[in-house]
Amino acid sequence: MSGIFSFVRFFRRREWALSLVVLLMIIFEVWLDLEIPNYMASITDVITAGGTVDEVLEEAGPMLMCAVGSMAVGLVVSVIVGWISSTVAKAIRKAEFTHIQKFSFNEIDKISSYSLITRSTNDVKQVQDFIGIALESLIRAPIISIWAILRISQSDISWTAATLTAITAMVILVFTVMHLTAPLYRKVQKFHDGINAMTMEMLTGQRVIRAYNADELERNKFEVANEALTDNNIRALRITSVNIPLNGLIRNGLLMAIYWLGAFIIVGTASEEGRLELFSEMIVFSTYAIMALGGFRTLVQIFNALPRAQASLERIFEVMNTVPTIESGKEKEGDGSGSISFTNVSFRYAFSPTDNLMDLSFDVHPGETVAIIGATGCGKTSLVNLIPRFYDALEGSVKVDGVDVREYDLESLRSKIGFVSQRSTILSGDVRSNVNYGFGSENRTDDDVWDALKVACIDDFVKSEGGLDINLSEEGRNISGGQKQRISIARAVCKDPEIYVFDDCFSAIDFRTDLEVRRRLKMRTKGSTVVLVTQRIGTARGADSIIVMDEGRIVDKGTHQELLDRCILYREIAESQRTGDEL
């Protein structure tokens, strides 16, 4: 199912059952509302016939009961509809979040993380609001309009013609406004993406912004984005703002037409009794006509909200219908050796015009430590991202434990790997939850956490600050860069995988601590396969083998001394970092 009502795919049996209840209750509510004019006509007849107060109250009692009953049913309907819209919105958010978790970085790069946030929050809220309107007003409005029209269809043809003319004018107004505002509301959500992106950058980049006195620059950038969103909203509101006054004009014009035509009809009636009967009929007809018009007016309000909800739903299903390029395979084990093999591997990012990695081939033997070194932007991080299958190679194959990573069950593949990214990721929470993290965490103890912290040379700091329960703020803003890197290293160590991947995660650690961390890691990872990305010769020289990269290609591979003897690029890097006895 596609279109604005495709949200019903998230309905479960309970939502469908309650929607049926809502339909039946709205029909009953409309019946109660439509009975009121009949009692009004009866009261008018009693008064014009010179009836007593008791006779008037006899007719007024049931009319009051209808009004109160309609109000009570309406309240119940509103509560049920509110519950349905909230639970469906919850189901949409859950489904969207679950699907996004399947995305590779390739899909996230294409849509952007800022847009995904908007689509999971603001867009879902727009759909939730529309569901609340659709389930109540969109059901009620056609029922009351059609029912009211049927009741007045046997009345004077001129009155009926005036009513149908007013309804036609309102329908034309609705579709005209929809046609003009739909493109603007599609832009609104894109502008929200831009605002989210700018706000996120401003919040995460506060240190740089303030250090360079760039507050005014950022305010101006935000003002431009905010102005664009505001201008777009104002253009949409200018169009929709004509709805209310034009609706009022159509409504009042219909009443004037009914009374004006009624006056001619009544004047043309000879008998007094006939005139009173026509006057009573005109009162009932005008009430039904306004009810019918009111139903269409409600539809106008619904269609005002429809373009924005339609745009939001399209953006949500754009995410839901995005097929992840990385799908889990079936292989769970491999040979368990810890070997890694790249064979003629090429790779390109989604928006890159050329390959970022070209024809890479090398092997990492079980228990071997291999360092990857090269200038910034040469493809080191891109290479190691292929091992846990964050991205897929464009050509060639990447094998872990003798099995192509594309054949692995993703959970099984990543459970083999302890990955420490270039940008340290600290989650809000305590040290314990940050280090003992992910699959298998329930089987690890505090002793395992302390042991991992000790290997990463961060245990003394944690003890001095209060232990494993100390709070780490979002992105680790209350600790230093080096401490974040060491906690990230401890997280990988605590996992105790068969393969370790360290992506330039020693860059913020001082040389003395770096040396000690590497010494402890060497002892801890003995027998495990280690891939180490670095720009420091001092970090790379202790590896069993060193891969030198430049512009997405492997320039050479060998030990520290072998590369010094034969690789010009490696020697240039080494000489640029020489501190006396570095070589």
Are 484 and 426 contacting, i.e. CB atoms less than 8 angstroms apart? yes
Show the 3-state SS of 481-502: HHHHHHHHHHHHHHHCCCEEEE
At 320, list the tokens. Answer: 């839901």
DSSP 13-68: HHHHHHHHHHHHHHHHHHHHHHHHHHHHHHHHHHHHTT--HHHHHHHHHHHHHHHH
pLDDT per position as a tens digit, 331-359: 888 888 889 999 999 999 877 888 999 99
Distance CA 455, CA 576 (A): 30
Residue 346, pLDDT score = 95
Express each pLDDT in 300-311 by its tens digit. Answer: 667 667 777 888
Take residue 494 and report the two structure tokens written for it: 């605590």
pLDDT of residue 160: 74
Interstrand relation of 553-558 and 545-550 (parallel, antiparallel or unpaired): antiparallel
Highest-confidence range of 197-201, 273-277, 385-389, by mean pLDDT?
A: 385-389
Residue 445 CA from chain centroid, whole number: 35
Cα separation, 548 vs 559, in Å, equals: 11
Kindly tell me if the per-residue pLDDT of 454 is higher than 90.
Answer: yes
Are 543 and 367 in contact by the 8 Å Cβ rule? The answer is no
Give me the architecture of the 4-320 domain, per CATH: Up-down Bundle (1.20)
Q: What is the mean pLDDT of residues 316-345?
A: 88
What is the maximum span of the chain, computed from C-alpha positions, in angstroms?
123
Per mean pLDDT, which of 17-21, 246-250, 301-305, 537-541 is the most reliable?
17-21
For 540, the token pair is: 């790379």
Q: Tell me the C-alpha to C-alpha distance, in Å, between residue 206 and each of 114, 217, 398.
A: 18, 13, 40
Assign 579 a pLDDT band (cuts: 50, 70, 90).
Answer: very low
Would the pLDDT of 271 be above 90?
Answer: no
Mean pLDDT of the region 136-157: 74
- pLDDT exceeds 70 at position 3: no
Q: In the chain, how many H helices and how many E strands?
A: 20, 12
Average pLDDT on 194-222 reads: 75
Specify the pTM: 0.70
Q: Can you read off the two tokens belonging to residue 496? A: 């105790």
pLDDT band at 211 (very low <50, low <70, confident <90, very high): low
pLDDT at 154: 64
When mean pLDDT is compared across 20-24, 128-132, 235-239, 310-314, the lowest value belongs to 235-239
Q: Are 200 and 114 in contact (CB under 8 A)?
A: yes
Least confident of 23-37, 49-63, 490-504: 49-63
Residue 9 has pLDDT above 50, yes or no: yes
**Among candidates 237, 242, 111, 250, which has minimal Cα distance to 170?**
250
In this model, does residue 151 exceed pLDDT 50?
yes
pLDDT score for 292: 74
Residue 554 CA to residue 551 CA, distance in Å, equals 9
CB burial string 313-348: b at 16+ within 10 A, e below? bbbbbebbeeeeebebbebeebeeebbbbbbebebb
Alpha carbon 18 to chain centroid, angstroms: 27
The per-residue pLDDT for range 46-96, each reduced to its tens digit, is: 776 677 777 778 878 888 898 899 899 989 998 999 999 999 999 999 999
Q: Which residues contact 173 (CB under 8 A, 6 or more apart)?
A: 242, 243, 246, 247, 250, 300
d(CA 301, CA 244) in angstroms, rounded, equals: 9
The whole-chain average pLDDT of the chain stands at 83
Residues in the chain: 583
Is 50 exceeded by the pLDDT of residue 146? Answer: yes
pLDDT confidence of residue 276: 66
